[in-house]
Amino acid sequence: MLENDIRLSVKAALDEDLGHQDAHHNQSSHHRSQADITAQLIPSDKHAQAKLITREEGVFCGKAWAEQVFNQLGGEVALLWHVDDGDLLVPNQVLCELSGSARTILTGERTAMNFIQTLSGVATLTKTYVDKLAGTHAQLLDTRKTLPGLRTAQKYAVTCGGGVNHRIGLYDAFLIKENHIMACGNIMNAVTTARHLHQDKVVEVEVENMAELSQALAAQADIIMLDNFDISMMLEAVEINSQYKTDDSSSYRGAKLEVSGDVTLETIANFAKTGVDYISVGALTKHIRALDLSLRLQSE
């Protein structure tokens, strides 16, 4: 899925810069490169070298996207990488050396850098949150609050920063929220129906109070999301969950607990210390500050 998404998202990004392809004809890479009218100022046979650097520290991510950019532009540029996804970066570090057609380097530079700066920004912020969880067993989860069209890319970046992916979309796990519960009648009905529809899918239930926590446990949810619980409620929920036993011979002994809501760099450590299993943070993929990059060109 990721490999296909990389190809499609890079194509869409290049189309933004170079104009959309004719619906009935595939443009050649040569034809696409001609669309950059500023690059036409440069002789077609002129070669150049360039260095991509970071101006600040962070976590690198986006190698495959940059490579795909220049592949789709015709492969006239060779990339020599000095970093891999997940590597820690320091200011003024060289990330990649490029050599080849000057036109192609300049045509592809912004698209390649857009992917790297965005995904590195996600990976960097993720690591900042993950570092706050040191000494606890809690794992940091992402959410579906991603930039449209970049779901898998951003979730991949989260893993590069040390985070863990929550469900990818609406198809790979159940997340039963307030409106689903209301439409189904109650938590038990919602969970029972989910099990009937897809026995192999994880069933998670969002709860807003202790009464709903008890209902989700009785329904034997796999994961229970504690929505906007304060610390005292989290501690109580962890205790109730750890002591939970069914009245029958079921092997169910409680759920994994996830905290959601009001999670910041200031609150996450104390939330994790309550003993919950997961903490989900929408900011990882929606509050993005791009990594500051620079590409320096040198003619051959």
Tokens at residue 208, please? 């807003």
Q: Kind of pairing, strands 93-101 and 77-81?
A: antiparallel
Nearest CA among 169, 162, 173, 117 for reference residue 143:
169
Is there a catalytic annotation at residue 22?
no
> Which residues, 6+ apart, have CB-to-CB distance to 204 below 8 Å?
173, 174, 175, 176, 221, 222, 223, 224, 225, 258
Is there a catalytic annotation at residue 256?
no
Q: Kind of pairing, strands 203-207 and 174-176?
A: parallel
Q: Report whether pLDDT(22) > 60.
A: no
Is there a catalytic annotation at residue 273?
no
Q: Are 36 and 100 in contact (CB under 8 A)?
A: no
Position 23 scores a pLDDT of: 45
Tokens at residue 176, please? 């039963």
Is there a catalytic annotation at residue 227?
yes
The active-site residue out of 46, 55, 110, 253 is 110
Does the pTM exceed 0.85? yes
Mean pLDDT of 241-262: 90
Position 30 scores a pLDDT of: 57
The active-site residue out of 15, 97, 131, 227 is 227
Is there a catalytic annotation at residue 177?
yes
The active-site residue out of 11, 144, 177, 256 is 177
Q: Report whether pLDDT(27) > 70.
A: no
Residues 30-42 have pLDDT tens digits of 566 678 999 999 9
Residues 53-103 have pLDDT tens digits of 999 999 999 999 999 999 999 989 999 999 999 999 999 999 999 999 999
